Structure 1
Amino acid sequence: MIKKFMICTIIALTVSGCATTQGPSTPQEAYLNRAAGAEVAATNCASAGGYSSVAQMRADQQSNLSKAKKLGATDAEYDQARRKVQGQWTTAYIFTNAYQACNSLINSVAWAGTAAPILPAKPTAAASKSN
């Protein structure tokens, strides 16, 4: 019974780990993802940089969340972003290790910081017709 459960769990994690994650499509979503990433990093990766790093991640989380809320984000949307980022971190942790999962998350959050997000251009009607 336990063996079947473990096999099903491994298959489910493998499938969820292979799922592609779309980037943010709006500034609000980008700020929510950044806030969630900073929170997840501060929670799971505190030993990567010590107190000052956690304090900076918390400041970035609060700044990004504030910007997202000014754009109309709700607590439910933030909870959804947090669950998504936590799931991505957990998948990376399972398939690599805590150091690599933290390194990847911290690098992406630090690189984005709190600057205005640069999102991919939306396809124009002419580009849609040519495809």
Structure 2
Amino acid sequence: MTIQSINISSSSPVARRSISQLPINLFASVMGITGLGLAWREAAKSLGVPSLPGEYIGGLGTLVFVALAIGYVSKWVRHPSSVSSEFAHPVQSNFFATVAIAFCCNPLSSIATVRFFPKAFGSPRRR
């Protein structure tokens, strides 16, 4: 019985990870995280559970959104052909809408919307 050694060096044909492989559909995870945070907020109102975990979950969703946005913008700048091929794909192109939906689910954008458009949400304007 012989023991073979594995040589891992920089010249081995291991696939390198790159920002060009960042998929647009990761923004759907932001929708799930922020949706959980918003659901926890509502549960705090109706069920009497503590609201602080919902705020932390919403903050985590905001951080994930910002990190993905920075990553995807850098992908767009450094590898525009990868973004255009993703946009031309018949299935992956549908996930470009998740960026806008994830932004709308984001707690910071909902706070800003209620603040700047209070009559649309039935809240009285503060003087």
- Structure-2-length-normalised TM-score: 0.33
Identify which of structures 1 and 2 has the higher relative contact order when contacts are C-alpha pairs closer than 8 Å and 6+ apart: 1
Relative to its length, the structure with more helix (as a share) is: 1
- Structure-1-length-normalised TM-score: 0.32
Q: In terms of Rg, which structure is larger? A: 2
